[in-house]
A and B are shown apart, each in its own frame.
Chain A
């Protein structure tokens, strides 16, 4: 493998002082929930480890993950992460284009066989042999399989790569599928969200580069450190939920007082993400703080659960979309009517059959 600079060398070259570097290490340790004792370990890793080449592919997506990523709040984190990964191929960020760009992709795959990390933003559509997403003249599906074959690990950026997101929402005409349906033989770390939080993205990369392994994942393949709790669990409006104080409609007294948005459809109780702790844009705010319920963008199939402004999910299997209560009341009503009718017939039968009884 060709000699690459270490992270530390890159940082020093960029004019980052040792003092700032060590600060960064402790900040990262804190952000990853590792505690202060891990800071020297991170520093040591960064001083000795070579940069890891990363290939960043784009399938069917909107680039919101990239947009989020380059806005990582702590400027040092952004600089460091962007320079510490050797981002060899990222068609939206790289300078080269066309054949030159595609050549770099090929070169990286050959040069760092089994060493590079594959980051995938977006997902492949399977319908019509993948013709709904063409990269460099070929279906993205082929590029994805090709690049995944020799990757060390795969990161699924955002809800597209993790779950399918909007292009996989019903009726999914292009048959877009999350990448784990195509890549089955590599460890995949899912970083869902539409987009994922910038600090979560950089945090995941930092962890992988520092420790040379995947962070601890939950059952669905998401890093526990960022997706271990629901928005609801750490929501600052939670006391209003427990108190039974809700925004009943937009702009009512409750909305002005900052009550819980549960009744206007907040998906915080069913959404695993770090928004209510890490927040967005340098920790300024997050949807609930801005007065809008969580739409559950980091959850599987969140487009297909009905209105963002209603608490109960739509169930489309019954022709017309209904929620559980509407279906339940209809069934209970029908059964109630049947019982009443049956009781009436029974009473008549009994009255007429009275003579038979001894």
Chain B
């Protein structure tokens, strides 16, 4: 990729296609909703006054959680589909070249850049190798884990024999019992929150300090390069 870049004279590349960008922001919305509602399912808000018949707070919170969960999961399936039919950058999240020495060297370079040991970062059209690695382990695996455990728990509410129970119910005995799955799902939320914190910080920082655009790319799809120097 760096060879390609050396000859490149253009300063903007179309990286993120519209469905991918839509997926990104739908996922953002879902994860925020899921974290807030999920937290309040674990530690509910103060008791509501009045009669039970006039209140449905937990019901609404859980409804929002389940709906956002469905949206997140369906969007993720769409994202996996897009990895097949979209451009090569759509595959970066799922295909990590873990056996490429060159790639690991670039991970090392990127790490040194983050430890302030490198003066200049490299240019990347898609994800930089460290970003790709983090996206895979934090997001792809974390998100998959949350979808699986989430639907296992959802299946408990739908009842034995429901589709969610049939597809994901096996997770419950695998992890011990229902309460253990709740605990893991809860820890998973914090895993994703940690990811979001780092993700947002790095995106803002890279947008300012690296040699290419980050935030505007996920809005408009175009990667702008700030200089014409080689990689």
Does B associate with A?
yes
B-contacting residues of A (Cβ < 8 Å)?
Answer: 218-220, 224, 228-230, 233, 239-246, 248, 254, 259, 262-263, 267, 269-272, 296, 299-302, 305, 311-313, 315, 323-325, 327-329, 331-332, 335-336, 339, 342-343, 345-346, 349-350, 353, 356, 358
Q: Tell me the bound Cα distance from A186 to B33 in angstroms.
A: 48
* Complex partner residue of B52 from A219, A230, A243, A339, CB under 8 angstroms: A243
Check if B198 is an interface residue, CB within 8 A of chain A: yes
Q: Tell me the bound Cα distance from A245 to B53 in angstroms.
A: 11
B-side contacts of A242, CB under 8 Å: 52, 56, 58-59
Q: Closest CB-CB distance, A341 to chain B, in whole Å?
A: 11
Check if B216 is an interface residue, CB within 8 A of chain A: no
Check if B87 is an interface residue, CB within 8 A of chain A: no
A-contacting residues of B (Cβ < 8 Å)?
Answer: 39, 42-48, 52-59, 61, 114, 116, 119, 156-157, 159-160, 169-170, 172-173, 176-180, 182-183, 186-187, 189-190, 193-194, 197-198, 201, 205, 208-209, 227
B-side contacts of A244, CB under 8 Å: 44-45, 47-48, 55-59, 61
Apart from A267-B179, A270-B178, A332-B193, what are 14 other A-B pairs with CB-CB below 8 Å? A241-B58, A242-B56, A243-B58, A244-B47, A245-B52, A254-B47, A300-B176, A301-B177, A311-B42, A324-B183, A342-B114, A345-B116, A356-B119, A358-B227
Q: How many A-B residue pairs have CB under 8 A?
A: 133
B183/A315 in contact, CB under 8 A: yes
A-side contacts of B178, CB under 8 Å: 230, 269-272, 299
A325/B42 in contact, CB under 8 A: yes
Q: Closest CB-CB distance, A180 to chain B, in whole Å?
A: 12
Q: Closest CB-CB distance, B59 to chain A, in whole Å?
A: 4
Q: Can you report 12 A-B residue pairs in the complex whose CB atoms are below 8 A from each other?
A: A243-B55, A244-B44, A248-B47, A270-B179, A272-B178, A302-B179, A305-B179, A312-B183, A313-B180, A324-B189, A343-B205, A345-B116
Q: Tell me the bound Cα distance from A331 to B189 in angstroms.
A: 12
Q: Tell me the bound Cα distance from A305 to B183 in angstroms.
A: 10
Q: Tell me the bound Cα distance from A343 to B52 in angstroms.
A: 49
- List the 8 closest A-B pairs by CB distance, nearest first: A328-B190, A244-B57, A243-B55, A324-B186, A270-B178, A270-B179, A243-B52, A242-B59
Q: Closest CB-CB distance, A353 to chain B, in whole Å?
A: 7
B43/A311 in contact, CB under 8 A: yes
- Which of the listed residues A245, A262, A339 has the most CB atoms from chain B within 10 Å of its own CB? A245
Q: Tell me the bound Cα distance from A312 to B59 in angstroms.
A: 20
Q: Tell me the bound Cα distance from A327 to B188 in angstroms.
A: 11
A-side contacts of B205, CB under 8 Å: 342-343, 346
Q: Tell me the bound Cα distance from A162 to B210 in angstroms.
A: 59
B187/A243 in contact, CB under 8 A: no
A243/B186 in contact, CB under 8 A: no
Q: Closest CB-CB distance, A170 to chain B, in whole Å?
A: 13
A243-B48, A327-B190, A332-B190 given; A339·B177 CB < 8 A = no
Closest B residue to A358 by CB, please name it.
B227
- Which of the listed residues B176, B177, B183 has the most CB atoms from chain A within 10 Å of its own CB? B177
B209/A350 in contact, CB under 8 A: yes
A244-B58, A263-B44, A346-B209 given; A313·B116 CB < 8 A = no
Q: Closest CB-CB distance, A111 to chain B, in whole Å?
A: 37
A332/B160 in contact, CB under 8 A: no
Closest B residue to A230 by CB, please name it.
B156
- Which of the listed residues A244, A246, A259, A311 has the most CB atoms from chain B within 10 Å of its own CB? A244
A244-B48, A312-B42 given; A335·B57 CB < 8 A = no
B-side contacts of A239, CB under 8 Å: 52-53
Q: Closest CB-CB distance, B68 to chain A, in whole Å?
A: 18
B-side contacts of A271, CB under 8 Å: 178
Q: Tell me the bound Cα distance from A103 to B119 in angstroms.
A: 86
B201/A339 in contact, CB under 8 A: yes
A240/B52 in contact, CB under 8 A: yes
A254-B47, A263-B44, A327-B187 given; A224·B52 CB < 8 A = no
Q: Tell me the bound Cα distance from A254 to B55 in angstroms.
A: 15
A233/B159 in contact, CB under 8 A: yes
